[in-house]
Amino acid sequence: MRSNHTIPVLNKKEPLILGLGDLALMAFSLWAALVLRYGGVPGTDLLQAHAAPFAIVFVISLFVFYIGGLYGRAVHIARSSIPGIVIRVQIANGLLAVALFYLIPNFVVTPRLNLLVYIVLSTIFIILWRLNAYSLFSLRRKSPAVVIGSGSEADDLVMEMSRNPRLGLYCRERVDPSAPAADIIRALEKGDGQFQYVIADLDDPRLEPALPQLYSRFFAKARIIDLHELYEEVYDRIPLSRMSHAWIMSAVSALDTGIYDFGKRALDVVLGALVGAIACVLYPFVAVAIKLDDRGPIFIAQERIGRNGTRIRIYKFRSMQRNETDKWVVESGQGDNKITRVGRFLRASRIDELPQALAILRGDMSLIGPRPDAAGLGIRLEKEIPYYQVRTVIAPGLTGWAQVCQDKPPQSVEETKLRLSYDLYYITHRSLGLDLAIALRTLRTLLSRLGA
């Protein structure tokens, strides 16, 4: 059997194409603004005078676009929300540009009305570009596929095929892998075999009797895709049904990330020191606020599970009435251990996490990785969830892939299983690029919380 990764499933270059289009329109908007302001094609001197300051504006704008979610999947699905999102992020870009031009003497642009004209034009052009660009990424001609699989993951994929315009497949036929081999082949031959893809759970032992005929009859005419690999590509998480000792040894243990680990550790030391410095600056204000609120202790110390199951000790600014960490209800502030008034703000702003810079500098934690469980809770989860301890093969992090993909911390075993699937995806795909994406999405989440 074969698994082909070149199928038209999801356009992985879509964010890059959108970003290049945004950048081109920003440059064009600047040129158009100068044409309107000066009544003709701008000369070389005029373009050079605006090039350096506006180049910085362009970079900041792309960053704000990412933070605002304009390169995410949700915007593509909710196409009607594009104008409102673009207008909001452009207002933010305008304010940042004003601060840049007014506060930094070397970047003064005169007349300053040019900036306002540029913002208006770029907003209009980018809205028009986004409304039309997303239709280009919607694959209207979908390829027919036969799905051979059962369970929630196969259900999710079939549902995604019907509702996601970026997924270039539709389910022509759904076949149960427990059916006799003859019935499976008969289902594939229905309609003269008019399909281009077979999406099969190749790890399902019930399908094994049909594999020889599936191979001999359909290998040459259709691309055969492993259901789990497609699921991972679509959802950016590892399907837990695929977990086995063999998978762990091949996918996790064989990872060679020496250069990456060295670079990540260097960044942890530099950025960890910066986080620690911010914590020291804020400490007097946080201490006074906590004492005025309930006169309790400023810090809490927690024992958590670190890399390879070792115990680590972390410190946080106290946000709850008592230091309890072994229950899910504590994480949500339910039960009799309530979040304090000051603690609510500390959590929303993530200021309560800043003292963990000490653990990062010690090497017990990283800036990015699976969140460390409280010791008691982690031990209990290892007993209830198979292979749960695999998430500890790397150092835990201050933020992680699961944190930016899940709306809230898990409050049940099922939600924790979902977190595990995201953690495993990060472990098997970790790179500096993915770390940067997690950092930016964390910042976006933080800003949205503060805005709320």
- CB distance 104 to 148 below 8 Å: no
Domain spans of the chain, in order of start = 14-137, 143-235, 258-451
Into which CATH architecture does domain 143-235 fall? Answer: 3-Layer(aba) Sandwich (3.40)
User: pLDDT of 90-100, one tens digit each?
Assistant: 998 888 888 87
In whole numbers, what is the pLDDT of the chain averaged over residues? 83
Residue with tokens 């907003």: 123
Q: Long-range CB contacts (< 8 A, 24+ apart) of 237-241? A: 237/405, 237/418, 237/421, 237/422, 237/424, 237/425, 238/421, 238/424, 238/425, 238/428, 239/153, 239/421, 240/417, 240/420, 240/421, 241/151, 241/153, 241/203
Confidence of residue 245 (pLDDT cuts 50, 70, 90): confident
User: pLDDT of 253-277, one tens digit each?
Assistant: 656 667 888 889 999 999 999 999 9
The pLDDT value recorded for residue 244 is 80
Most confident of 46-55, 60-69, 82-91, 367-376: 367-376
Question: Would you say residue 326 has pLDDT above 50?
Answer: no
List the structure tokens of 299. Answer: 């810090």
Confidence of residue 3 (pLDDT cuts 50, 70, 90): very low
pTM: 0.77
CA dihedral 199, 201, 203, 207 (to 10 degrees): -100
Residue with tokens 């020191």: 273
Stretch 134-151: mean pLDDT, rounded?
74
